Structure 1
Amino acid sequence: MEYSYYNPTAIQFGKGQIKSIVNFISKDQKVLVVYGGGSIKKNGVYDQVVSALDGYTWSEFSGVEPNPSVETLNKAVEIIKAEKIDFILAVGGGSVIDGCKYLAAASLYDGDGWDFLEGKQVEKALPLGAILTLPATGSESNVNSVISKKATNEKRYFGSPLLYPKFAVLDSSVMSTLDDRQLANGLVDAFVHTCEQYLTYPNTSLLHDGYAQTILKGLHTLAQDWSNRKTELWQENLMLLANQALNGFIGSGVPQDWATHMIGHEITAFYGLDHAQSLAVVQPHLLRVMIEDKQEKLTLMGKEVFDMPHNYEMVIEAIEYMYQSIGVPTKLSAYKTDDNVISNITKALESHGMTALGEKGNVTLDKVSRILTMSLK
């Protein structure tokens, strides 16, 4: 176990914490408030932000879409450069926060911001903070950002330690207006994030496995308690679990997979599935195709998470049932695609150099084809 772990994001957890943002933003900074479709004006979040920023110089940019596009974000980059914005405040879910990470990097860069998605290193970035409204991605306290390009049907990711939000407000009371699809997506997303760092092969860290299992058990408990999803206690737990699933710690010093995400990104880019939906239609079938590699950790997961000792094949069925029980299909055939879906996804992966995925680099394009074929049946 040799690793470095660093996470400078201050977490402000609990009701009424939006007002605490004044402790992290100076009044001599010009602030750009960035949000999505306007739901923050219905759930009271916008009013709380306006109140907190009283006496500040600030402006706003709205319209960041789910799976944020570089086309939309570049409009905000122009505003940031023209108005000499000093601080970016992301108010929304993972898409808005991911988009703001792109803004933070692209606004101090003279070239095309898409260069970062092509592998260019971020050398400087504007400071940003996050007010989370939809728990799922953990983006509020990690370095990762996933951005789409509509013009080419691409969905790519980048990251940099310079993109850690300075703070993240996690107030679950703002979740009151979320619908079932959003809550289910958040649960599935957090569950798969944890699996990508856990369902690999045995490691020597009792802490990392135990921590991941605690997160998985918590999310499974929430799925079983789906009828109480509108309660404050349920939503508070989802917000905390989703944050811990991808704040970087459970993946430090252990093998990681991420093949489900890489395949899922291409599905979303071509066919517009929600991020969590794309993960749910890939993961169970990937686990079946890769079951020999995953056998030991599936067995451990069965024992510690699902109370299914010694039956690793049933664990995959339990995962599938959990997703389906909260309304998230596990078959690509449940969505509108086309006859070219397998070739589109495999060719896109090949063009992006993703031909050897997974913790051992043995999820080949042939295996991706098998996974998608199973998902289409």
Structure 2
Amino acid sequence: MFNFSFHNPTRIIFGREQMTQLSNLVKPFQKVLLIYGGGSIKNNGVYQQVTAALTESSFIEFSGVEPNPSFETLMRAADIVRREKIDFILAVGGGSVIDGAKFVAAAALFNGDAWDILAKGAKITEAVPLGCVLTLPATGTESNGNSVVTRYETQEKLAFSSPLVYPQFAILDPTVTYSLPPKQAANGVVDAFVHVMEQYLTYPVNAPVQDRFAEGLLLTLIEEGPKVIADPENYEVRANVMWAATMALNGLIGQGVPQDWATHMIGHEITALYGLDHAQTLAIVLPALMQQQRQQKRAKLLQYGQRVWQLQHQDEERLIDEAISHTRHFFERMGVPTRLTDYGLNAEVVDKLVEKLVQHKMVKLGEHGDITPEVSRSILQQAL
């Protein structure tokens, strides 16, 4: 196991009717920016609960954050933070809204072109404090310092990370997810599953605690994920999926172990160029990447097949084939297709995607840094 230093400052408030705690959590702040997406929170009662909790605070609303949050939209919110001297940001929504709020928190106090935070990795030295109310379990962003933003003008989807943008608190009430459309619920399960895989499916470093945590999360998502679609108002199912998605990317299972993230980097380019949902791109790329990197990931692929899918074949190559096949079938069972052609994309897109990876210096991806542009090309070709 590698050396590590782990600290997660986000306070999680989990369970039914936990929105009642919101008023005490925001009370110390004088001016709040309430940031949310397209307005679905007004249909499921979340907006009404949040605004009722903010009656003792002065707050300004900012709506319209897109499913892949737009740099242009978020900069308008950052302008409001500066102009109105906002001292706290409350994000209410799914991963895109929370990611967007993190960027706003950093951009509002950034001295210079805020795009440099994403494009050049410019250091963030201060950020507006923020908290969140999660309505869509998927990305784990509610308790980490990561954010992904899209600049539609240039068709770029880029990420940044800073400990300064960890939410101070995250309210997770599984009941608010009952009204999610099946597609969004399925995407959330796939997203969380791939987050675990990016930290787990690398190579062994004698870290059994992290491995078993990761395998437990994968099994939970495999067992509970389909139930979310079949029985959407089952509280226990929703609670288990919500907590698994948070645990998948709060930093815990990634401590002391190698990580991959090539699936995400390639997937970001598919979203930026062709508008596919984030989880759809992950479902496309991961099985193809597992096939392409089967030798580099051999030991962990065998472990994954045996422990997660309970495969017992003596023929190791067959076991790996079936582990990959089971993964693909799980995504398909969740209603998320796993081929580029399923989304109307053909071989012509491969060169464009590889060009974007090169443009963004994504030329040494994976836990070994051996996923070059040519290897990415092979992965995308296998994903057709």
Q: TM-score, normalised by structure 2?
A: 0.96
| Residue pairs, 1:9-24, within 5 angstroms | 9-24=10-25
CA distance in 2, matches of 1:227, 1:39: 22
Whether 2:84 is the aligned partner of 1:76: answer: no
Distance in 2 (CA, whole Å) between partners of 1:234 and 1:139 is 20
Deviates most, 329-338 or 299-308? 329-338
Look up the match of 1:208.
Answer: 210
The whole-number CA distance in structure 1 between the counterparts of 2:50 and 2:144 is: 22
Cα distance in 1 for residues equivalent to 2:29 and 2:144: 26
Q: Structure 1 residue 246 and structure 2 residue 282: aligned?
A: no
1:320 matched residue in structure 2: 328
**Is 1:300 matched with 2:308?**
no
Identity %: 50
SS of structure 2 residue aligned to 1:182: helix
Matching residue of 2:8 = 7
Range 220-229 or range 114-123, more displaced? 220-229
Deviates more, 1:21-30 or 1:228-237: 21-30
Cα offset, 1:352, TM superposition: 1.0
Task: Indicate the residue corresponding to 2:141 in structure 1.
Answer: 139
For 1:360 and 1:28, locate their aligned partners in 2 and report how far apart those are by CA, in whole Å.
45
2:365 to 348, 352, 357: 357
Report the CA distance between 1:363 and its aligned residue: 1.0
Corresponding residue number in structure 1 for 2:192: 190
Match of 1:179 among 169, 178, 181: 181
Counterpart position of 2:354: 346
SS of equivalent to 1:24: helix
Aligned to 2:153: 151
Is 1:201–1:255's contact at 8 Å kept on the other side of the alignment? yes
Q: CA RMSD of the aligned region, Å?
A: 1.2
For 1:274, which of 274, 277, 280 is the aligned residue? 277
Gaps of 5+ in 2: 314-318
What are the superposed Cα offsets for residues 200-243 of structure 1, whole Å, 9 maximum, x if unpaired?
00121110000000000000102353522442221111100000
Three-state SS of the structure 1 residue aligned to 2:204 is coil
Q: Distance in 2 between matches of 1:109 and 1:202?
A: 40
What SS is found at the alignment partner of 1:134? coil
Report SS of the residue matched to 1:151.
coil
> Could you tell me how far apart the structure 2 residues matched to 1:352 and 1:109 are?
22
Equivalent position amino acid for 2:209 in 1: L
Partner of 1:12, secondary structure, is: strand
Whole-Å separation in 1 of the counterparts to 2:46 and 2:232: 20
Residues 347-356 or 94-103, more deviating: 347-356
Aligned 1:80-159 pairs, distance under 5 A = 80-118=81-119, 119-159=121-161
User: After alignment, is 200-209 or 110-119 more displaced?
Assistant: 110-119
- Structure 1 letter corresponding to 2:323: V
Amino acid paired to 2:363: T
Q: Deviations over 1:178-199 (max 9, x none)?
A: 0110010000000000000000
Tell me what 2:258 maps to: 255
Conserved 8 A contact 1:271-1:336: no
Residues in 2 aligned to 1:248 and 1:29: alpha-carbon distance in whole angstroms: 31
The answer to whether the 8 Å contact 1:27/1:55 transfers is no
How many residues matched? 376
Return the alpha-carbon distance in structure 2 between the equivalents of residues 304 and 60 of structure 1.
47
Contact 1:30/1:58 (8 A) holds in 2: yes
What are the Cα deviations for residues 307-357 of structure 1, in whole angstroms up to 9, with x where unaligned? 113412200000000000111000011113366411111111111111111
CA distance, structure 2, for counterparts of residue 308 and residue 43 of structure 1:
42
Partners of 2:165 and 2:51 in 1: how far apart?
Answer: 24
TM-score, with normalisation over the residues of structure 1? 0.98
User: What amino acid is aligned across from residue 179 of structure 1 in structure 2?
Assistant: P
1:47 matched to which residue of 2?
48
Shift of 1:121: 0.9
Matches within 5 A, 1:323-334: 323-334=331-342
Q: Distance in 1 between matches of 2:232 and 2:46?
A: 20
Q: After the TM superposition, which of the residue ranges 157-166 and 102-111 deviates more from structure 2?
A: 102-111
Moved more, 228-237 or 82-91: 228-237
Q: Which runs of 5+ in 1 are unaligned?
A: none
CA distance in 1, matches of 2:94, 2:53: 20
